[in-house]
């Protein structure tokens, strides 16, 4: 068992802290947000993530998981400290390292013995060197330390599964022994281990997210062509995915990617390339297609209705993906903003994300269930593919809507069935 500190209790930090404790380590998770730590100390997760409450409860009950707001409580006895603070988007799309730098300085001020600092946050290539420099400059006494990059590959909605059953674990450092030591913390997990240099590990994270975003934008561009040639993108994607060189993952046409990673990371990688004198043509196209997909979604609705002013539109799904309450860069926000700008009245329902969106968006009628949202509506927009939307009573839906128009941004429904039921149905890239 090792003694570990985790700086940051956001999505990545909280999941990492709880799961490392579940692996048998002694973990102190630190955050400067006192209200958040107060909630966590009551055993309540501050984010919605399936299974996280159970993992946290086990760690707290076993005395292996603790929460604090003080570096002096978390750092001095730690052998490893994981840095999992935010790297928000800067003014030009670059990753802002202000919280990383603050954490590095605070860690240095609290260090009492040899420590391995592990960057878990997604950071620009070379950030590990910056962390090492800041720590070295702010140590009160000469204390040996190493910096390791251990990028996370967690999907919101399945983060616990992803942590405990990863496809691979990546560790990069200028100190190979330190990288192997961090890898040892995960020894109970059965997976591939990749040990590399610091910069390569940092790049693996960016390259992975950019590639997945590229697949999404690619299939969305194919969907636009499918609509013009009367082909079905779902069947096209199925046929593509059967090729072992391609595979089926991330080939679901829709209204584009969102969340805390893909938009920010693709843009940060592109800006990083530009500062080094390279024009990232493909990355720019990926981002442009993603933005356009949301615009085209609303335009499709406008064409069906003949206009949007004073139309009542039901929006189902606000989170950027199912099984999370995260609305960061969610397509729903752009869609709702566009609808409101065009004079539409918006009703919305989401099983988890409504309390979050209420804090940042006004002028929406938040409803208790999908049917309340659809009652008397001129159209229904399916934005997030929550499982409960797959089993809606479609006959009931048609009866209560003023106009039976459905624009399906996730291709959740079968076009033939919807038309047989009497709906005016539009999917994405469906014949």
Distances (CA, A) of 344 to 144, 185, 294, 340, 349: 61, 53, 16, 5, 16
Which helix (H) or strand (E) covers residue 26, if one does? Answer: strand 26-30
Mean pLDDT calculated for residue range 317-330: 94
pLDDT score at 333: 97
Of the candidates 30, 37, 129, the residue with the CA atom closest to the CA atom of residue 82:
30
pLDDT score at 93: 82
Please tell me which residue, 362 or 318, carries the higher pLDDT value.
318
Cβ proximity of 70 and 41 under 8 Å:
no
Of the candidates 211, 208, 300, 210, the residue with the CA atom closest to the CA atom of residue 254:
300
pLDDT bin (cut points 50, 70, 90) of residue 97 is very high
- Please, is 279 exposed, middle or buried when counting C-beta atoms within 10 Å of its C-beta (0-12, 13-18, 19+)? exposed
Q: How far is residue 382's CA from residue 177's CA, in Å, rounded to a whole number?
A: 50
Tell me the three state secondary structure of residue 424: strand
Residues of the chain above pLDDT 70, percent: 100
Mean pLDDT calculated for residue range 345-365: 95
pLDDT bin (cut points 50, 70, 90) of residue 21 is very high
Of the candidates 40, 55, 8, the residue with the CA atom closest to the CA atom of residue 152:
8
Check: CATH 3.30.1490.20 for 3-196?
no
pLDDT bin (cut points 50, 70, 90) of residue 265 is very high
pLDDT bin (cut points 50, 70, 90) of residue 431 is confident
Catalytic residue among 19, 226, 261, 367: 261
Mean pLDDT calculated for residue range 132-143: 94
Is the pLDDT reported for residue 226 higher than 80?
Answer: yes
* pLDDT tens, position by position, 144-190: 999 999 999 999 889 999 999 999 999 999 999 999 999 999 999 99
The number of residues making up the chain comes to 431
Q: Please give the structure tokens belonging to residue 192.
A: 């591939």
pLDDT score at 140: 87
Q: Please, what is the average pLDDT of the chain?
A: 95
- pTM of the predicted structure, to 2 decimals: 0.92
**Domain spans of the chain?**
3-196, 211-426
Same fold, 3-196 and 211-426: yes
Q: How far is residue 316's CA from residue 298's CA, in Å, rounded to a whole number?
A: 14
Cβ proximity of 364 and 352 under 8 Å:
no
Is the pLDDT reported for residue 267 higher than 90?
Answer: yes
Mean pLDDT calculated for residue range 320-332: 94
Mean pLDDT calculated for residue range 235-259: 96
pLDDT bin (cut points 50, 70, 90) of residue 9 is very high
Q: Kindly report the CATH number that applies to the domain delimited by 211-426.
A: 3.40.50.720
**Sign of the CA dihedral with 235 first, then 236, 238, and 242 last:** positive
Cβ proximity of 24 and 188 under 8 Å:
yes
Q: Does 19 qualify as catalytic in the annotation?
A: no
Residue 90: phi, psi to the nearest 5? -80, -175
pLDDT bin (cut points 50, 70, 90) of residue 88 is confident
281 C-beta neighbours (distance < 10 Å), count: 10
Is the pLDDT reported for residue 100 higher than 90?
Answer: yes
pLDDT bin (cut points 50, 70, 90) of residue 260 is confident
* pLDDT tens, position by position, 102-125: 999 999 999 999 999 999 998 999
Q: Can you name the residues that pair with 271 across neighbouring β-strands?
A: none
């Amino acid at each position: 068992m090792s003694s570990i500190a985790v700086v940051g209790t956001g999505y990545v930090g909280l999941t990492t802290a709880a799961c490392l404790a579940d692996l048998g380590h002694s973990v102190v998770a630190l955050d400067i947000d006192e209200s958040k730590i107060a909630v966590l100390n009551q055993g309540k997760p501050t984010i919605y993530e399936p299974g996280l409450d159970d993992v946290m409860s086990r760690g707290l009950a076993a005395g292996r998981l603790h929460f604090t707001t003080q570096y002096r409580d978390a750092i001095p006895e730690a052998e490893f400290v994981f840095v999992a603070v935010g790297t928000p988007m800067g003014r030009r799309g670059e990753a802002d390292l202000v919280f990383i730098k603050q954490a590095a300085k605070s860690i240095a001020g609290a260090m009492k013995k040899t420590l391995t600092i592990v960057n878990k946050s997604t950071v620009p290539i070379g950030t590990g060197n910056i962390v090492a420099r800041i720590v070295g400059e702010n140590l009160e006494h000469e204390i040996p330390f190493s910096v390791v990059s251990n990028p996370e590959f967690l999907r919101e909605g399945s983060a616990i599964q992803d942590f405990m059953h990863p496809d691979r674990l990546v560790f990069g450092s200028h100190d190979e022994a330190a990288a192997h030591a961090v890898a040892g913390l995960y020894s109970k997990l059965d997976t591939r281990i990749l040990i590399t240099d610091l910069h390569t590990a940092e790049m693996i994270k960016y390259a992975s997210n950019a590639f997945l975003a590229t697949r999404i934008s690619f299939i969305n561009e194919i969907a636009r062509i499918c609509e013009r040639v009367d082909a079905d993108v779902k069947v096209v994607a199925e046929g593509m995915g059967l090729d072992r060189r391609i595979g089926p993952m991330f080939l679901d046409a829709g209204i584009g990617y969102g969340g805390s990673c893909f938009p920010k990371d693709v843009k940060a990688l592109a800006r990083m390339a530009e500062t080094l004198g390279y024009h990232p043509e493909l990355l720019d196209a990926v981002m442009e297609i993603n933005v356009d997909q949301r615009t085209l979604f609303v335009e499709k609705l406008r064409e069906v209705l003949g206009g949007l002013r004073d139309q009542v539109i039901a929006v189902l799904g606000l989170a950027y993906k199912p099984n999370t309450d995260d609305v960061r860069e969610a397509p729903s926000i752009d869609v709702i903003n566009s609808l409101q700008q065009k004079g539409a009245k918006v009703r919305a329902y989401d099983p988890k994300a409504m309390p979050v969106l209420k804090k940042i968006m006004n002028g929406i009628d938040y409803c208790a269930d999908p049917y309340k949202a659809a009652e008397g509506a001129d159209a229904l927009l399916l934005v997030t593919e929550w499982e409960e939307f797959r089993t809606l009573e479609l006959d009931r839906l048609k009866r209560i809507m003023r106009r039976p128009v459905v624009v399906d941004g996730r291709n959740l429904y079968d076009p033939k069935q919807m038309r047989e039921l009497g709906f005016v149905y539009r999917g994405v890239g469906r014949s």
